[in-house]
Amino acid sequence: MAESENLTLHSPAKINLFLEVCGKRSDGFHELETVMLRTSLCDSITFAHAPAGQLSLHQTNTSAHDVPLDDSNLILRAANVLLLEQSKAVGAHITIDKQIPLQAGLAGGSSNAATALLGLNQLWNLNLPRTVLHRIAASLGSDINFFLEDCTAAICRGRGELVTPIRVGGEFHFVAARPASGNATPAVFSKLHLPDTLHRCDDVVAALDSGRVTELAASIFNRLTQPATELNPQMVQLMAQMQQTAKRPVFMSGSGSTCFVVCDTAGDAANVLEDFRTLNAVFVSKLAAA
């Protein structure tokens, strides 16, 4: 892209419609089978050229979900790897409008990292192939690769980095809420007792393909729900409130602490959202499959 041009990209949140932990690996990670769905809830990231070697990160809406803006931020970690991977004299000023809450099981940080890889590849005219971006993504985290694929939903295996896109044959709407306290992913995994019998994602995959909301609601599963509830009493309380208010099952995304309900239509989601505004949650949002 030309030196004068900026680039703004959406960085979407995901929810997990299925998550089974198939075993513990020798590298300390867990072998997963999970179905991720890209949603309409997005951060927005703007990339602008800067003098060679300079990288900076700013957040435009500091009152919302504050993220660390130092080198620990996955956006800057991704940008630094890209600087090292190629020989061009480039730099970037990056600004983020953050809407996705942290420690929420929505992969906000991972999505931001993927968006940084895609955005800087474009801004700096690097033309790195998708395979290289996937390799860098997997070196930075387990959930980043999903967001490099141009798909609404995928089965993710391995640590989560092996992505197989699947078809979504209809509209799906959800309302999500997160209690004041978030969940730390390593703590949730370390509370887990590995299952004797594994659940499979076939029913969720079939429901997404058919577009049938009732079938989807009947097949959602998350193995991490049990250990997460042991760690986060606020989440347990919020799940009970959500269930009573919306009169339907409540599910957790990723390692939490965001929980969600399935809605029949966009109108149903709008009504549920209004009802959820009275709950003890720091974040409430409609989410559509996107």
The verdict on whether 143 is a catalytic residue reads yes
Q: Which residues contact 53 (CB under 8 A, 6 or more apart)?
A: 83, 89, 91
CA angle 104, 108, 110 (to 5 degrees): 120
User: Quick one: which of 219, 223, 224, 195 has its CA closest to 207?
Assistant: 219
Q: Tell me the C-alpha distance between 216 and 207, whole Å.
A: 5
Q: Contact between 29 and ligand C5P (CB under 6 A)?
A: yes
- Can 88 be counted among the known catalytic residues? no
Q: Is 135 in the site for ligand C5P (CB under 6 A)?
A: no
Q: Is 170 in the site for ligand C5P (CB under 6 A)?
A: no
**Part of the chain binding ligand C5P (CB under 6 A), chosen from 112-120, 135-143, 240-248, 256-264:** 135-143
Binding of ligand C5P at residue 183 (CB under 6 A)? Answer: no
What is the smallest separation between the CB atom of 138 and ligand C5P, expressed in angstroms?
A: 9
From the list 43, 98, 143, 286, the catalytic residue is: 143
The values of phi and psi at residue 288, to 5°, are -115, 150
Token pair of 162 as six digits: 């092996």
The sign one gets for the Cα dihedral 109, 110, 111, 117 is positive
- Which residues within the stretch 136-165 sit at the binding site for ligand C5P (CB under 6 A)? 141-143, 159-160
Q: Does 30 bind ligand C5P (CB under 6 A)?
A: yes
Q: Is 185 in the site for ligand C5P (CB under 6 A)?
A: yes
Q: Which of 93, 130, 162, 189 binds ligand C5P (CB under 6 A)?
A: 189
> Using CB under 6 A as the criterion, what x/- string covers residues 248-277 for binding ligand C5P?
------------------------------
Are the C-beta atoms of residues 216 and 204 closer than 8 Å to each other?
A: yes
Residue 121 near residue 83 (C-beta atoms within 8 A): no
Residue whose CB is less far from ligand C5P, 43 or 143: 143
Region of 81-89, 111-119, 185-193, 203-211 interacting with ligand C5P (CB under 6 A):
185-193
* CA-to-CA dists, residue 217 to 207, 213, 249, angstroms: 9, 6, 8
* Interaction site with ligand C5P (CB under 6 A): 29-30, 32, 141-143, 159-160, 185-186, 189
List the catalytic residues.
14, 143
